[in-house]
Structure 1
Amino acid sequence: MGSVFGKQTVAEPFFEVLLDRNQAQTQYELRHYPERRYAATCVYDGDADDTSPPFRALANYIGVFGKPQNESRESISATTPIVYQGSTTKGESIAMTAPVVTEEVEDGKRVMKFMLPAEYDELSKVPKPINPAVKIEEIPPQVGVVHKYKGSLKAEHNKEMAIDLADQLMADGVEGISEEFVLDNFQFWGYNPPMTIPYLRRNEVWLQLTEEQVEYLTQKYNNRSLN
């Protein structure tokens, strides 16, 4: 995922920037992402700031800390690290990509997701996790806004950044946006490992928008649309 000093060493998913609101008080980008696939796991209880258990479960699936915990027997070249699982079953080492996504869902559950590399362009190609807590998800194309910032991984800090984004979107006249709505629907995207020095981190909050909201922003600020 990168170093303690913030250097990002893994690939990002492709996206198109439809709008760059770099003149706003709270800057944000409007991005279009194509279809993506994630490995995801859920945490039900515990410290909201402790991302270690879900991070380790997903990292074990792709083979960061040792033998990858997936059922594939296919050896993939040019991915790192290359590791093996068991003495008879060879696990597939999957390259890490960024960002790592975390979000809160109902009943206090927290979800963390690792985006899978581009070569897994079909669900049938994705190695099956051994850990039943790790699930594979397919996400359709999405358009949303992203606010970049540095600093702490603490949940309260991320919520403050999400509120800043909500306030800016409301100031920009986007309908259907409120602080409550954004807090219920935003995702935190992290591009560095947990041990990275906070002021060197790249953090983002993401909020998916509707087609109407996207059309409003693109017409108001740069006269571009998805059509």
Structure 2
Amino acid sequence: MISRLKTVVTQVAESVLGIVGVRVGTEEPPHTSTALTDTVEIRRYEPRIAAETTVEGDEDKARNEGFRILAGYIFGGNQGGGKIAMTAPVGQTSTEGQKIAMTAPVSRSGSADGWVIRFFMPSKWTMATLPTPNDDRVRLVDVPAETVAVIRFTGDRGRSAVDAQSAELLDVLQANGIDVLGEPTSWFYDPPWTVPFRRRNEVAVPVEA
């Protein structure tokens, strides 16, 4: 009883902190980072594992539905019923974008017919130790090492805002003579209830190492 009460209190506290964009103990995929400009950085990510699902429909609704499906998996909807810690970011890409740029682990283009939503798994897990999802809409995939260029922004994370950031990112890369290897992808680090000016949103695009 005491343990359950502590868990509830912790969850409530984390939700309250999430309103102002404070992520308590949330793991991010290991990477190194080098600043390219005042707004753009180059990151190198090591191989990692992701749980992903494909959802059709409107972009925002697809993200919410995909989040719900994947959250079900990490919060016990798996063989064994074990819980897996939530990490950041949540990735979203268009399925059409994946057809255009197969080298991009998560990508985004103009199609809104289908979206791949992706959670990265904590680094302690392997394919051998991760529990099998109960929901067959959830897939576990290996994500290869990659180098990406990233631009960070706050506020609105709708399509127009993301498209504007994508255009700025691509302009910076072109100006610096950096080859782009795929389509931009959206990364979101905070829940929907985080106040807009405290949100951490990013657009990332794979580039030549």
Fold-level similarity (TM above 0.5): yes
Question: What RMSD in Å do the two structures reach over aligned CA positions?
Answer: 1.7
Question: When the two structures are superposed, what TM-score results if normalisation uses the length of structure 2?
Answer: 0.79
Distance in 2 between residues matched to 1:143 and 1:204, nearest whole Å: 15
| C-alpha distance in 2 between matches for 1:138 and 1:130 | 19
User: In structure 2, how many angstroms separate the alpha carbons of the residues matched to 1:165 and 1:22?
Assistant: 10
Map of 1:49 onto structure 2: 60
1:97 is matched with 87
Report sequence identity in percent.
30
Paired position in structure 1 for 2:22: 7
Q: How many residues align?
A: 177
Distance 1:158 1:191 in 2: 14
Counterparts of 1:205 and 1:15 in 2: how far apart (Å)? 16
Moved over 4 A (4+): none
Partner of 1:125, secondary structure, is: coil
Structure whose residues are more often helix by fraction = 2
Task: For residue 169 of structure 1, give the secondary structure of its aligned residue in structure 2.
Answer: helix
Gaps of 5+ in 1: 74-90, 215-227
Q: Gaps spanning 5+ residues in structure 2: where?
A: 1-13, 97-110
Secondary structure (helix, strand or coil) at the match of 1:147 reads strand
* Rounded Cα–Cα distance in structure 1 between residues aligned with 2:123 and 2:170: 31
- 1:40 counterpart = 2:48: no
Residue pair 2:51, 2:139 contacting (<8 A) in 1 also: yes
Aligned partner of 1:77 in structure 2 is: none
* Counterpart Cα distance in 2 of 1:173 and 1:188: 23
Alignment of 1:174-185 (within 5 A): 174-175=178-179, 177=180, 185=183
Counterparts of 2:116 and 2:160 in 1: how far apart (Å)?
16
Task: Specify the structure having the higher radius of gyration (Cα).
Answer: 1
Give me the whole-angstrom Cα distance separating, in 2, the residues matched to 1:148 and 1:41. 25
Deviations 1:152-186 (A, max 9, x none): 121221111111101111111224x5xxx86xx11
Equivalent residue number for residue 70 of structure 1: 78
Structure 2 SS opposite 1:123? coil
Residue 8 of structure 1 deviates from its aligned partner by 1.2
Check conservation: 2:45, 2:145, Cα contact below 8 A. yes
| Pairing of 1:203-218 with structure 2 (within 5 A) | 203-210=201-208, 214=209
1:116 corresponds to which of 115, 121, 125:
121
